[in-house]
Amino acid sequence: MATANHNLSHYDKNTIPDAKQYRFGIVVSEWNDTITNGLYQGAYDALIDCGALPENVLKWDVPGSFELIYGCKHMINHQVDAVIAIGCVIQGETKHFDFVCEGVTQGIKDLNVQTETPVIFCVLTDNTMQQSIDRSGGKLGNKGTEAAIAAIKMADLRRQK
């Protein structure tokens, strides 16, 4: 696994642009909320740690991961510099997992191609609940933290270009 030897929560603050000047949107799936709430907290804490002002971090909840696309699309209209899409899809017994994962991935990719606002993919697509726990504040750190750092860097890139 890509994260087996990497803690998702580690970052060098000296290499991160100051986030104070940026507005961030975070769209969070309510499905598997124990996991998505952990991912949100990791993202929020990293944004604040890197200088983002609490009033410049907007959070919206959507029912599930598939709805992240619609939520992110509309979040972009709220003058944010970057959006983080947070979700969690865990493999089940049917093909539903494959359809949701592919749809969300393609939808978020489409938003990145069609708009000027970066949308960061923070959707766990794990085989087991334990894998998701490990990546949402567990032994492998927090993918939400990693997504926040990506959002800051992409917001900075957007403003420079």
Catalytic residues, by residue number, are 96
E-strand stretches of the chain:
24-29, 57-62, 82-90, 119-126, 136-138, 141-142
Using CA atoms, how far apart are residues 9 and 26, in angstroms rounded to an integer?
18
Using CA atoms, how far apart are residues 44 and 79, in angstroms rounded to an integer?
18
E-strand stretches of 39-90:
57-62, 82-90
